[in-house]
């Protein structure tokens, strides 16, 4: 699968009263054309910040401290705001958790949809209302709702409008950050089914972010797991379902009820995420890891590529493996 998005060594920092917080640290991953890629991890792990970095929505004091983000070969981090505005909606769009953050409360739905189209296609003219009507049908909303204001719609309807807006100019990448989290389960299911149906129909790629791992495992082709600003594992949905490798991925899975397998006792991961101003010298997960080796305390595991994906853990690093063997030989 050809890559659509390439994120390389991305770091994002912000200054806090106690020092500099590196919320995203040296994160590398790619998303293929038509692929649904998920970013998972506990809250505060950097998944939304990564998405905001990719879509240039970081607000002061957060800033990109290093790395690159390429969309279809175009470097996004160095574009001027005007240049990026030309890509927003037409190549990359974003759906946030609360539709109210995406919609302008004082504009009718029709104006919001048509403004997005006209910003890129100023000559769309009369046919623009028809396009807005088509978009409403696409997300199963009654066309007469075009003349409503956002507050006159239910939360689920508003989120459908946001999805319609995100797709108005047929972008190649749609970023979805907790798109259904604020909604009740029935409405959530309907919207997820709709997103999947539209993705199949149009073939856009999705960067999907949620703290809901079962939902992610249902939707995504590949998943990146983040912990304390680091990407610790990237692998296929099948690999995570059958044999999660990273101890943190294993812990995360054990914190959710099994989707299909036998009922098991749920165990959260004991301990807390580290202070990102002064992270541990070695593996950031070390203080919580039940499988830690001696070198995990002092040496940070690098993200390595192997046939199953990418993983950053000494249980799979050459150094970790050789030390394991050496200590086994001594016993």
Q: Is the dihedral of CA 185, 187, 193, 196 positive or negative?
A: negative
- Per CB under 6 A, 131 contacts ligand SF4: no
* Site for Mg ion contains 102 (CB under 5 A): no
261, two tokens: 């397998």
Q: Which does 226 bind (CB under 5 to 8 A by kind): Mg ion, ligand SF4, none?
A: none
- Using CB under 6 A as the binding rule, whether residue 228 contacts ligand SF4 is answered as no
Give whichever of 43 and 290 is closer to Mg ion, judged by the CB atom: 43
**Using the rule CB under 5 A, is 48 a contact of Mg ion?**
yes
Nearer to ligand SF4 among residue 155 and residue 274 (C-beta): 274
Residue 56 CA neighbour count, 13 Å, CB half: 21
Neighbours of 61 (CB within 10 A): 11
| Residue (of 47, 39, 96) closest to 213 by Cα position | 39
Q: Pick from Mg ion, ligand SF4, none: which does 291 bind, CB < 5 to 8 A by kind?
A: ligand SF4
Question: Closer to Mg ion at the Cβ: 178 or 320?
Answer: 178
Residue 48 touches which member of Mg ion, ligand SF4, none, C-beta under 5-8 Å by kind: Mg ion
- Span of 49-57, 131-139, 251-259, 312-320 interacting with ligand SF4 by CB under 6 A: 312-320
Judged by CB, which is closer to ligand SF4: 252, or 313?
A: 313
Instruction: List, in order, residues 6 or more apart from 6 with CB less than 8 Å away.
Output: 30, 68, 69, 70
27 counts as binding ligand SF4 under rule CB under 6 A: no
Question: Does residue 253 touch ligand SF4 according to CB under 6 A?
Answer: no
Please report the DSSP string for 166-217 in residue order: HHTT--SEEEEESTTTTS-HHHHHHHHHHHHHHHHHH--EEEEE-S-HHHHH
Residue 294 tokens, joined: 């001696």
289 binds ligand SF4 (CB under 6 A): yes
From the list 32, 27, 21, the residue with the least C-alpha distance to 8 is 27
The residue number with the shortest CB distance to Mg ion is 48
301 binds, among ligand SF4, Mg ion, none (CB under 5 to 8 A by kind): ligand SF4
User: Which residues between 209 and 238 bind Mg ion (CB under 5 A)?
Assistant: none
Rounded CA separation 151/326 (Å): 65
Binding site for Mg ion (CB under 5 A): 48
């Amino acid at each position: 699968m050809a890559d659509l998005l390439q994120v390389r060594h991305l770091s994002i920092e912000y200054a806090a009263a106690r020092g500099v917080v590196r919320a995203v640290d040296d994160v590398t991953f790619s998303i293929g054309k038509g692929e649904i890629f998920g970013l998972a991890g506990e809250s505060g792990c950097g998944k939304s910040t990564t998405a905001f970095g990719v879509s240039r929505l970081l607000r002061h004091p957060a800033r990109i401290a290093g790395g690159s983000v390429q969309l279809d070969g175009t470097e996004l981090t160095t574009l001027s705001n005007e240049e990026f505005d030309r890509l927003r909606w037409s190549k990359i769009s974003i759906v946030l958790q609360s539709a109210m953050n995406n919609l302008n409360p004082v504009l009718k739905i029709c104006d919001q949809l048509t403004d997005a189209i006209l910003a890129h296609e100023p000559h769309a003219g009369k046919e623009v209302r028809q396009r807005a009507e088509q978009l409403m049908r696409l997300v199963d909303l009654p066309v007469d709702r075009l003349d409503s204001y956002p507050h006159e719609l239910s939360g689920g309807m508003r989120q459908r409008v946001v999805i319609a807006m995100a797709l108005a100019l047929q972008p190649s990448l749609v970023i979805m950050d907790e798109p259904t989290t604020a909604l009740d389960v029935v409405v959530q299911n309907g919207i997820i089914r709709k997103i999947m149906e539209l993705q199949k129909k149009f073939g856009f790629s999705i960067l999907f972010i949620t703290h809901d791992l079962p939902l992610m495992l249902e939707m995504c082709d590949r998943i990146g797991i983040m912990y304390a600003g680091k990407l610790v594992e990237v692998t296929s949905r099948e690999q995570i379902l059958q044999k999660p490798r990273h101890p943190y991925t294993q812990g995360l899975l054990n914190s959710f009820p099994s989707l299909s397998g036998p009922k098991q006792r749920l165990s959260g991961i004991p301990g807390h995420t580290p202070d990102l101003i002064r992270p541990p010298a070695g593996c950031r997960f070390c203080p919580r890891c039940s499988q830690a080796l001696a070198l995990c305390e002092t040496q940070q595991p690098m993200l390595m590529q192997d046939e199953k994906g990418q993983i950053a853990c000494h249980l799979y690093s050459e150094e970790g493996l050789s030390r394991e063997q050496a200590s086994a030989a001594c016993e």
